[in-house]
A and B are shown apart, each in its own frame.
Chain A
Amino acid sequence: MADHTLDAKGLNCPLPILKARKALKDVPAEGILEILATDPGSVADFEAFCRQTGHELVEHSEEGGTYRFLIKKAAA
Protein backbone atom coordinates (compact mmCIF):
# COMPACT_ATOMS: atom_id res chain seq x y z
CA MET A 1 0.00 0.00 0.00
CA ALA A 2 2.55 2.57 1.05
CA ASP A 3 5.66 2.78 -1.12
CA HIS A 4 7.84 3.56 1.90
CA THR A 5 7.43 3.57 5.65
CA LEU A 6 9.27 5.98 7.92
CA ASP A 7 9.50 5.07 11.58
CA ALA A 8 9.85 8.39 13.43
CA LYS A 9 8.64 7.06 16.76
CA GLY A 10 10.39 8.58 19.77
CA LEU A 11 11.68 11.53 17.76
CA ASN A 12 10.81 15.06 18.72
CA CYS A 13 10.22 18.22 16.68
CA PRO A 14 11.51 18.89 14.04
CA LEU A 15 13.01 15.46 13.33
CA PRO A 16 9.84 13.72 12.04
CA ILE A 17 9.42 16.49 9.43
CA LEU A 18 13.11 16.50 8.46
CA LYS A 19 13.17 12.72 8.11
CA ALA A 20 9.92 12.76 6.14
CA ARG A 21 11.39 15.26 3.72
CA LYS A 22 14.39 12.98 3.22
CA ALA A 23 12.24 9.87 2.87
CA LEU A 24 10.03 11.56 0.27
CA LYS A 25 13.04 11.82 -2.01
CA ASP A 26 12.95 8.04 -2.44
CA VAL A 27 9.21 7.96 -3.11
CA PRO A 28 8.08 8.19 -6.75
CA ALA A 29 5.78 11.07 -7.77
CA GLU A 30 2.26 10.39 -6.49
CA GLY A 31 3.61 7.52 -4.40
CA ILE A 32 2.62 7.10 -0.78
CA LEU A 33 4.85 7.59 2.25
CA GLU A 34 3.66 6.16 5.55
CA ILE A 35 5.02 7.85 8.67
CA LEU A 36 4.76 6.57 12.22
CA ALA A 37 5.40 9.09 15.00
CA THR A 38 4.79 9.57 18.70
CA ASP A 39 5.23 13.36 18.81
CA PRO A 40 1.73 14.83 19.36
CA GLY A 41 2.94 18.07 17.72
CA SER A 42 3.54 16.19 14.49
CA VAL A 43 -0.19 16.27 13.66
CA ALA A 44 -0.31 20.04 13.20
CA ASP A 45 3.19 20.02 11.73
CA PHE A 46 2.50 17.46 9.00
CA GLU A 47 -0.67 19.35 8.05
CA ALA A 48 1.34 22.57 7.69
CA PHE A 49 4.19 20.76 5.93
CA CYS A 50 1.78 19.37 3.33
CA ARG A 51 -0.01 22.69 2.77
CA GLN A 52 3.33 24.37 2.16
CA THR A 53 4.99 21.72 -0.01
CA GLY A 54 2.04 20.59 -2.13
CA HIS A 55 2.20 16.97 -0.99
CA GLU A 56 -1.14 15.58 0.06
CA LEU A 57 -1.91 14.38 3.57
CA VAL A 58 -4.17 11.53 2.56
CA GLU A 59 -5.02 10.45 6.07
CA HIS A 60 -3.84 10.48 9.63
CA SER A 61 -4.91 8.44 12.60
CA GLU A 62 -3.83 7.71 16.13
CA GLU A 63 -3.71 4.44 17.97
CA GLY A 64 -2.23 3.87 21.40
CA GLY A 65 -0.12 7.02 21.26
CA THR A 66 1.28 6.31 17.81
CA TYR A 67 0.31 8.65 15.01
CA ARG A 68 0.15 7.33 11.48
CA PHE A 69 0.30 9.63 8.48
CA LEU A 70 -0.10 8.80 4.81
CA ILE A 71 1.41 11.41 2.54
CA LYS A 72 0.96 11.32 -1.22
CA LYS A 73 3.93 12.88 -2.94
CA ALA A 74 3.11 15.72 -5.30
CA ALA A 75 3.27 15.05 -9.03
CA ALA A 76 6.70 15.97 -10.37
Chain B
Amino acid sequence: MRFAARMNFLRSFLEREEPKMSAEEKSMSIIVTKGSLDWAYPPFILATTAAAMGLPVTMFFTFYGLPLLLKDLNLQLTAAGNPAMKMPMMGAHMGLPNLLTAIPGVDAACTKMMKNLMSKKGVASIEDLRELAVEAEVRLIACQMTMDLFEYTLDDMIEGPELGGAATYIEVATQSDINLFI
Protein backbone atom coordinates (compact mmCIF):
# COMPACT_ATOMS: atom_id res chain seq x y z
CA MET B 1 0.00 0.00 0.00
CA ARG B 2 2.70 2.39 0.98
CA PHE B 3 4.66 1.32 -2.03
CA ALA B 4 1.71 2.04 -4.31
CA ALA B 5 1.29 5.49 -2.77
CA ARG B 6 4.94 6.17 -3.32
CA MET B 7 4.77 5.06 -6.93
CA ASN B 8 1.81 7.34 -7.46
CA PHE B 9 3.74 10.22 -6.02
CA LEU B 10 6.71 9.45 -8.25
CA ARG B 11 4.47 9.10 -11.27
CA SER B 12 2.78 12.41 -10.63
CA PHE B 13 6.20 13.98 -10.17
CA LEU B 14 7.44 12.60 -13.48
CA GLU B 15 4.30 13.51 -15.35
CA ARG B 16 4.37 17.08 -14.14
CA GLU B 17 4.09 19.52 -16.96
CA GLU B 18 7.39 20.73 -18.25
CA PRO B 19 8.03 24.42 -17.63
CA LYS B 20 6.67 26.36 -20.57
CA MET B 21 9.94 27.91 -21.64
CA SER B 22 12.80 25.72 -22.78
CA ALA B 23 16.37 26.64 -21.99
CA GLU B 24 17.08 28.03 -25.45
CA GLU B 25 13.83 29.91 -25.84
CA LYS B 26 14.40 33.55 -25.03
CA SER B 27 11.61 35.91 -24.12
CA MET B 28 11.14 39.67 -24.06
CA SER B 29 9.14 42.28 -22.24
CA ILE B 30 8.72 45.96 -23.05
CA ILE B 31 7.34 48.76 -20.89
CA VAL B 32 5.65 51.22 -23.25
CA THR B 33 5.46 54.70 -21.74
CA LYS B 34 5.16 57.07 -24.69
CA GLY B 35 2.32 57.54 -27.13
CA SER B 36 3.41 60.02 -29.78
CA LEU B 37 3.70 58.86 -33.39
CA ASP B 38 7.49 58.70 -33.36
CA TRP B 39 7.79 57.02 -29.95
CA ALA B 40 5.16 54.42 -30.76
CA TYR B 41 7.42 52.79 -33.34
CA PRO B 42 10.30 51.26 -31.35
CA PRO B 43 8.15 49.13 -29.03
CA PHE B 44 5.85 47.83 -31.77
CA ILE B 45 8.70 47.15 -34.21
CA LEU B 46 10.71 45.25 -31.60
CA ALA B 47 7.70 43.36 -30.24
CA THR B 48 6.51 42.16 -33.65
CA THR B 49 10.02 41.25 -34.80
CA ALA B 50 10.84 39.36 -31.61
CA ALA B 51 7.54 37.49 -31.91
CA ALA B 52 8.39 36.66 -35.54
CA MET B 53 11.72 35.27 -34.32
CA GLY B 54 9.90 32.97 -31.95
CA LEU B 55 10.20 34.87 -28.67
CA PRO B 56 7.23 35.10 -26.34
CA VAL B 57 6.68 38.86 -25.95
CA THR B 58 4.83 40.93 -23.36
CA MET B 59 4.09 44.64 -23.69
CA PHE B 60 3.08 46.63 -20.62
CA PHE B 61 1.31 49.90 -21.52
CA THR B 62 1.52 52.62 -18.93
CA PHE B 63 1.05 56.40 -18.74
CA TYR B 64 1.17 57.97 -22.21
CA GLY B 65 1.82 54.57 -23.73
CA LEU B 66 -1.62 53.36 -22.66
CA PRO B 67 -3.56 55.25 -25.37
CA LEU B 68 -1.69 53.16 -27.97
CA LEU B 69 -4.26 50.48 -27.13
CA LEU B 70 -7.27 52.69 -27.95
CA LYS B 71 -9.54 51.50 -30.75
CA ASP B 72 -9.05 54.67 -32.73
CA LEU B 73 -5.52 55.91 -33.01
CA ASN B 74 -4.79 59.38 -34.24
CA LEU B 75 -1.14 59.63 -33.35
CA GLN B 76 0.54 63.00 -33.47
CA LEU B 77 4.05 64.21 -33.07
CA THR B 78 5.50 67.50 -32.00
CA ALA B 79 8.64 69.23 -33.15
CA ALA B 80 8.80 71.27 -29.92
CA GLY B 81 11.83 70.38 -27.84
CA ASN B 82 13.02 67.97 -30.49
CA PRO B 83 16.04 69.53 -32.22
CA ALA B 84 16.94 66.16 -33.75
CA MET B 85 13.74 66.07 -35.80
CA LYS B 86 14.96 67.11 -39.20
CA MET B 87 12.93 66.08 -42.21
CA PRO B 88 14.32 65.64 -45.70
CA MET B 89 13.03 68.55 -47.73
CA MET B 90 14.11 69.77 -51.14
CA GLY B 91 17.41 67.91 -50.95
CA ALA B 92 18.29 69.18 -47.47
CA HIS B 93 17.33 68.31 -43.90
CA MET B 94 15.20 70.92 -42.21
CA GLY B 95 14.24 71.30 -38.59
CA LEU B 96 11.99 73.83 -36.91
CA PRO B 97 13.10 76.42 -34.35
CA ASN B 98 11.22 75.85 -31.09
CA LEU B 99 9.46 79.19 -31.34
CA LEU B 100 7.75 78.21 -34.60
CA THR B 101 6.56 74.88 -33.20
CA ALA B 102 4.12 76.77 -30.95
CA ILE B 103 2.18 78.15 -33.92
CA PRO B 104 -1.21 76.42 -34.22
CA GLY B 105 -1.23 73.92 -37.05
CA VAL B 106 2.50 73.34 -37.10
CA ASP B 107 2.28 70.03 -35.20
CA ALA B 108 -0.51 68.87 -37.48
CA ALA B 109 1.57 69.77 -40.53
CA CYS B 110 4.64 67.98 -39.12
CA THR B 111 2.53 64.92 -38.37
CA LYS B 112 1.11 64.91 -41.87
CA MET B 113 4.56 65.28 -43.36
CA MET B 114 5.91 62.40 -41.26
CA LYS B 115 3.01 60.12 -42.16
CA ASN B 116 3.46 60.90 -45.87
CA LEU B 117 7.16 60.21 -45.61
CA MET B 118 6.50 56.91 -43.85
CA SER B 119 4.07 55.62 -46.40
CA LYS B 120 6.37 56.72 -49.22
CA LYS B 121 9.25 54.75 -47.66
CA GLY B 122 7.24 51.61 -47.02
CA VAL B 123 7.22 52.01 -43.24
CA ALA B 124 4.30 50.20 -41.64
CA SER B 125 1.65 52.21 -39.82
CA ILE B 126 1.32 51.78 -36.06
CA GLU B 127 -2.18 50.39 -36.66
CA ASP B 128 -0.71 47.68 -38.90
CA LEU B 129 2.11 46.82 -36.50
CA ARG B 130 -0.33 46.65 -33.61
CA GLU B 131 -2.56 44.29 -35.55
CA LEU B 132 0.46 42.12 -36.35
CA ALA B 133 1.40 42.10 -32.66
CA VAL B 134 -2.08 40.90 -31.71
CA GLU B 135 -1.94 38.29 -34.48
CA ALA B 136 1.45 37.07 -33.23
CA GLU B 137 -0.08 36.62 -29.77
CA VAL B 138 2.02 39.28 -28.12
CA ARG B 139 0.68 39.57 -24.57
CA LEU B 140 -0.68 43.08 -24.02
CA ILE B 141 -1.10 44.36 -20.48
CA ALA B 142 -2.89 47.65 -19.82
CA CYS B 143 -1.76 49.37 -16.63
CA GLN B 144 -4.77 49.43 -14.31
CA MET B 145 -3.59 52.50 -12.45
CA THR B 146 -3.25 54.50 -15.69
CA MET B 147 -6.70 53.28 -16.79
CA ASP B 148 -8.14 54.76 -13.58
CA LEU B 149 -6.05 57.90 -13.80
CA PHE B 150 -7.03 58.81 -17.34
CA GLU B 151 -10.54 57.33 -17.02
CA TYR B 152 -10.40 54.63 -19.65
CA THR B 153 -12.17 51.27 -19.61
CA LEU B 154 -11.38 48.11 -21.57
CA ASP B 155 -14.34 49.03 -23.82
CA ASP B 156 -12.24 51.91 -25.16
CA MET B 157 -9.45 49.52 -26.11
CA ILE B 158 -8.91 47.06 -28.95
CA GLU B 159 -9.66 43.43 -28.17
CA GLY B 160 -6.81 41.58 -26.54
CA PRO B 161 -5.31 43.59 -23.64
CA GLU B 162 -5.60 42.31 -20.10
CA LEU B 163 -5.39 44.47 -17.00
CA GLY B 164 -2.44 44.37 -14.65
CA GLY B 165 -0.24 46.35 -12.33
CA ALA B 166 3.38 46.66 -11.33
CA ALA B 167 3.47 43.22 -9.72
CA THR B 168 2.07 41.64 -12.89
CA TYR B 169 4.84 43.26 -14.89
CA ILE B 170 7.58 42.34 -12.40
CA GLU B 171 6.52 38.72 -12.54
CA VAL B 172 6.80 38.82 -16.35
CA ALA B 173 10.15 40.61 -16.14
CA THR B 174 11.66 38.01 -13.82
CA GLN B 175 10.87 35.37 -16.44
CA SER B 176 12.08 37.38 -19.45
CA ASP B 177 15.58 37.45 -20.88
CA ILE B 178 15.20 40.91 -22.40
CA ASN B 179 13.41 43.70 -20.54
CA LEU B 180 13.11 47.07 -22.25
CA PHE B 181 11.73 50.40 -21.07
CA ILE B 182 10.69 52.68 -23.91
Contacts and interface: CB of A to CB of B under 8 A. Distances in A.
Interface residues of B, number: 11
B121 A52 contact: no
Contacts of B52: 14, 17-18, 20-21, 49
Q: Which of B52, B121, B124 has the most CB of A within 10 A?
A: B52
Nearest to A8: B122
Contacts of A10: 122
Contact of B45 (A13, A20, A49): A13
B4 interface: no
Interface string B28-69: 000000000000000001001100111000000000000000
Nearest to B135: A22
Nearest to A9: B122
Interface string B120-162: 0111100000001000000000000000000000000000000
Contacts of B123: 12
Interface residues of A, number: 15
Contacts of A21: 52-53
B53 A53 contact: yes
Contacts of B45: 13-14
A29 interface: no
A52 B122 contact: no
25 contacts: A10-B122, A11-B122, A11-B124, A12-B122, A12-B123, A13-B45, A14-B48, A14-B52, A14-B124, A15-B124, A17-B49, A17-B52, A17-B53, A18-B49, A18-B52, A18-B132, A20-B52, A21-B52, A21-B53, A39-B122, A48-B53, A49-B52, A49-B53, A52-B53, A53-B54
Interface of A: 10-15, 17-18, 20-21, 39, 48-49, 52-53
